[in-house]
Homo-oligomer: A and B are copies of this chain.
């Protein structure tokens, strides 16, 4: 039985705990495209925004594929296809690196993987992949959360040694519901209140209810720091720590805010049994086999 360093959803009162893990792991810092300043920024703030990382042609290809997948999934009732809470629009498609060649290649992209290794300090694999479509007009908010909180409790990810990579496939503006992050919040762990029901993921991907931080903890995190909205054009990329507090407002503009989302986990941080004691979520949400 692995020790639970980050208990959550077990107490009746929320609590803010200190992070027990490094942010930038030693070993590979010098072997990739990220500079020392960029790694320092990431260590301090928990994220790094890169306006241009891929070739234009690569991004064009991802966009074409994204549009094709969108059309293909609109009528689908596959479990990988998640709809908006109040409409039948596609919100996300999961396991895209498993099911689509373009994203299988992206998950093994030399430059990207090298950058991720610089931060996580080891070989890595994909814990989760998805396209978020966040359609225009009807895109609802994603409430504040730490991804790690869910991955730890529901998937059994033992330590904070994972990161997300979000690549904009449409322009991100301040007004089309871009991701908001709280710099520095990755160094705190907000232990959430309440026990999630069995098969929680069936509802939480449309609208999260359990595993969300309480208002008072959120106020504290924001007061001690700020809210940042790293926005940029098509192809811009955000790398962010698995434990940074983030969320996004709704999007009533006509501009969709699609992005491709890859979660890299260290091979030294393989999943164990979920710390909730419940059965693990399906493979397409938390890969236990390297794909």
Cα–Cα distance between A137 and B141 once the two chains are bound (Å): 11
The distance in angstroms between the C-alpha atoms of A38 and B191, with both chains bound, is 51
The answer to whether the Cβ of A175 comes within 8 Å of any Cβ in the partner chain is: yes
B252 touches A247 (CB 8 A): yes
Task: Select from chain B the residue with minimum beta-carbon distance to A137.
Answer: B215
Copies of this protein chain in the complex: 2
Q: Report A217 CB to chain B, min CB distance, Å.
A: 10
Q: With a CB–CB cut-off of 8 A, which chain B residues contact A222?
A: 253-255
Given known contacts A250-B141, A253-B222, A227 and B173 CB-to-CB distance under 8 angstroms: yes
A-side interface mostly: loop
Q: A143 within 8 Å of B by Cβ? A: yes
> Contacts of A175 on B, CB cut-off 8 Å?
174, 180, 227, 229, 249
Apart from A137-B218, A222-B253, A249-B252, 18 more pairs, CB < 8 Å: A136-B215, A137-B215, A140-B250, A141-B250, A141-B252, A144-B252, A173-B227, A174-B174, A175-B180, A175-B249, A177-B249, A180-B252, A218-B254, A219-B254, A222-B255, A249-B250, A249-B251, A250-B250
Q: Give the docked Cα–Cα distance between A97 and B256 (Å).
A: 40
Chain B residues near A253: list those with CB within 8 A: 180, 222, 227
Distance between A218 CB and nearest chain B CB, rounded to angstroms: 6
5 residue pairs, one from A and one from B, having the closest CB atoms:
A174-B174, A250-B250, A249-B249, A219-B254, A249-B250
| Residue of A140, A247, A249 most packed against chain B (CB within 10 A) | A249
Mark out the residues of chain A between 233 and 263 whose CB falls within 8 Å of any chain B CB in the assembled complex: 247-255
